[in-house]
């Protein structure tokens, strides 16, 4: 089962990013920017940055059977998609 959580920001560009300051859905409604994240257990699957309630960019993470990061799909606001192979 996947879980959605919200955060103020992240503090590293290494993948998967390190998230900071979890916020509630109520706080999201009052913010200009926030991160919407998708988790499966304690594994981060996706990060979407919202700017003025619109999609800004996303990181989608793919792991091997040992939960080691293998690939990141980066999508920007124009819809350009780039793949980063980690291993």
30-85 confidence digits (pLDDT tens): 999 999 999 999 999 999 999 998 999 999 999 999 999 999 999 999 999 999 99
Q: Is 27 helix (H, G, I), strand (E, B) or coil?
A: helix
pLDDT for res 12: 85
User: Which secondary-structure segment (H or E) carries 85?
Assistant: strand 81-85
What's this model's pTM, rounded to 2 decimal places? Answer: 0.92
CB atoms within 10 A of CB 13: 8
- What are the angstrom distances between the C-alpha of 65 and each of 19, 41, 62, 68, 70? 23, 14, 10, 7, 10
As for how many domains the chain has, the answer is: 1
Give the structural domain span for 39: 2-85
Whether the pLDDT of residue 87 is over 90: the answer is no
């Amino acid at each position: 089962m996947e879980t959605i959580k919200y955060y103020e920001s992240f503090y590293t560009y290494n993948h998967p990013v390190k998230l900071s300051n979890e916020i509630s859905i109520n706080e999201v409604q009052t913010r200009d920017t926030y991160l919407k994240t998708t988790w499966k257990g304690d594994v981060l699957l996706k990060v979407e940055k919202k700017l003025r309630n619109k999609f800004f960019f996303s990181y989608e993470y793919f792991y091997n059977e040992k939960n080691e990061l293998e690939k990141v799909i980066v999508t920007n606001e124009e819809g350009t998609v780039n793949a980063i192979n980690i291993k």
